[in-house]
Structure 1
Amino acid sequence: MSPSGGGRDTDGAAHAIAEAVARRSYGKLVALVAMRTRDVAAAEDALADAFATALADWPARGCPANPEAWLMTVARRRAIDGARHRRVGDDVTNQLAILADEIDEHEAGGLPDRRLALLFACTHPALEAAVRTPLMLQVVLGLDAKTIASAFLTSPAAMSKRLVRAKNKIREAGIPFCVPEREELPGRLAAVLEAVYAAYTEGWTDPVGSDTERRDLAGEALFLADMLAELLPEEPETLGLFALMLYAQARRDARRDAAGDYVPLSAQDPATWNTAMIEAADTLLRRASAFNAIGRFQLEAALQSAHIHRCRTHRANWDEIVQLYDALLDIAASPVVAVNRALAVAERDSPQAALDALAPYADDPRLTDYQPYWAARADLLARAGATAEAFGAYDLAIGLASDPAVRRFLQRKQTAL
């Protein structure tokens, strides 16, 4: 340290910057490091080591232009090295962590984004198609088994067992994780698209942006969808997925009023929607339709477009919407599609016709804890004059609602009965 005190000044500057980074970004850095190893404690230890290294290094070499990136790089290397030595977590997580390290050194295996490369690495043909997307959501995108189970309308216990079986198979069969070659990507695309959309949907559930992790998840999913559309511009479903997500994102902020109360689509002001996003989605959907190879995400995007057109023009187009739902049921049948189709049937025909359309799903276990089903059923029963049944359905919908604003909205509707 120099007698002039310059050393103390440099030390002080390094400490000040490190403290500012810690206040601003500590939680985010821990989460990013933990995504690799799924070990938060180890991530915190690695980040603490990175801060200690910074306080030793920055006074001598100068503070980096991007302190967060510097700390992230050092902490990531420490966490990966630690996982290799300790074998923390399961074999799948360790394999992917090592692959991620290799990808960083070789420019994402030829793909434009490291996490996109890891998603494709989870699509090995030896894995059951039904487990590829849940595996991506857990080990690459960081969702827990409960959240993944909700996306697939199954129980957390069943999803956990499915994931454990898949990981056991990977370990026992020695299935290697590697980034597929460019020509292999179209054949492995479907599960990746499904994972990206499931991640976006989870992020979408935080409408006011109070949950930073969920908002980041929605933004990351949009980024990945954009990358996929650029990477595979001749795959119509990549264009359809990105269009679908842009249509939804364009009206994300309109779902709450100034008081924070829930605003259903029919009551939203189209002037508050993001016009540039809608126009970009329109362009993507037109490009996708030119391939004449219809798919699930194109149909879902077309449905969003039809809803937006109706709200903007105030012209009913329910027959067109029901036809789109019929096409979607033909290629991607699910009780979720059936519920949404029934709501459109109620507008085109009658609430009773919609209830009749839902009758075959009355005992479907996938709908037992699916909150939108009970909310839809309550609304249809109320409109059909079955007040007592509607009241009971509202009870279930309110009990299952995780969003306080949605809960208040449903309580007001129930009270109005």
Structure 2
Amino acid sequence: MTAETSSRTPFRKILIANRGEIALRIIRTARALGYRTVAVHSTADAGARHVREADQAVCIGDPLPAQSYLCIPALIEAARRSGADAVHPGYGFLAENEDFAQACHDAGLVFIGPSAEAIRAMGNKAGAKVLMQAAGVPCIPGYQGEDQSEARLADEAGRIGFPVMIKATAGGGGRGMRLVNSAAEFPELLRSARSEAQSAFGDPEVILERAIVRPRHIEIQVFADRHGHAIHLGERDCSVQRRHQKLIEEAPSPAVDAALRARMGATAVAAVKAIRYEGAGTLEFLLDAEGRYYFMEMNTRLQVEHPVTEAITGLDLVALQLRVAAGEPVGIAQEDVRFSGHAIEVRLCAEDADQGFMPQSGTMALWQMPPQLRVEHALQSGAEIPPYYDSMIAKLIAHGDSREDARRLLMAGLEDAVALGVTTNQAFLHRCLGHDVFAAGGAT
């Protein structure tokens, strides 16, 4: 028996610890590969599409649907009751929770993701930055010390030089993040950031970083296996955001040429090898106007925007996840990764862009998506949009021979899409794609 064979962790039935389009995306690939699937659902999601399309379904939440998907004991019990021998966390809720990964391991379940140790190491921004600096990854100048007193942080902000970013060390999604332009506004914004971080993550600790003026948000998709192999699948440009949360993602980036892609990719691969990472991951960087890039954070999971990478590489990233989790080599050499055309994704959200992106809920009276696009969703006419979860209800992805081909196709698809009954950001997305700056590839 070879070392590769002895490290295999085969499984047959996968419990998907997520909901909606995320669960459906994983079900689609799992079914194509011959795996059985188990859906979990809150009482609010009892009639949801992911529940109907899985081979089995287990209710995990009554009467608090907002918290049921976060209840680790309930998810482990659902796996036991259903006979699942593996758990896929999706790319939300508990996907980056080291306690959940450890609980799955302790229960004898294969966790389709990195180890609890890797999630823990990269989940704290301060600790991750130290690890990345040790691995030779360029990081933004800043402060990530243990002294969290207001006086020390104010002194460090002055040393770094304004503008400064305050960032919560735990979590993400822009929560606990503030841009500070002067020393005078630092105390108030620090208190605001800490309060939001405590509320969102249960941890008020922050780090400080020099603010990079008009940067691009560039992320590198990586895959690594337990046999020491690691590759990157190019970059995605996620610069168009609202409230520090992504709205439009594309691959490749209009600002990245082949030479820069090779340098950033090599940096990302070296980083995951340094921490003995396993599975899908994304290293996120800020890219300045001079082509310098700086590490921000690592997402230890599959990203919402992974379809644009799938479109230009022809690879199924969920299939790669399942392969690596089963203990098999990733099976692709770096020189075999090829990029074809351009892909753009928009996040369709149930929110009112004209009212501060206020989340919306209700009944989707009429739902018709354009056949010329890849649309990831879990809706149908008459479906309920509950108020308990993230406002994103679908992703629309266009792939073309060129960036302009993809942009034109996506704009036409948004014009053809019908989502009536609940206010969405559909028109706002169309305006973004049609904006002169975005059309020219200049969005930061």
TM-score of the aligned structures, taking structure 2 as reference length: 0.25
Which has the larger Rg? 1
- Between 1 and 2, higher relative CO (CA 8 Å, sep ≥ 6) is seen in 2
TM-score, L = length of structure 1 = 0.27
- Higher fraction of strand: 2
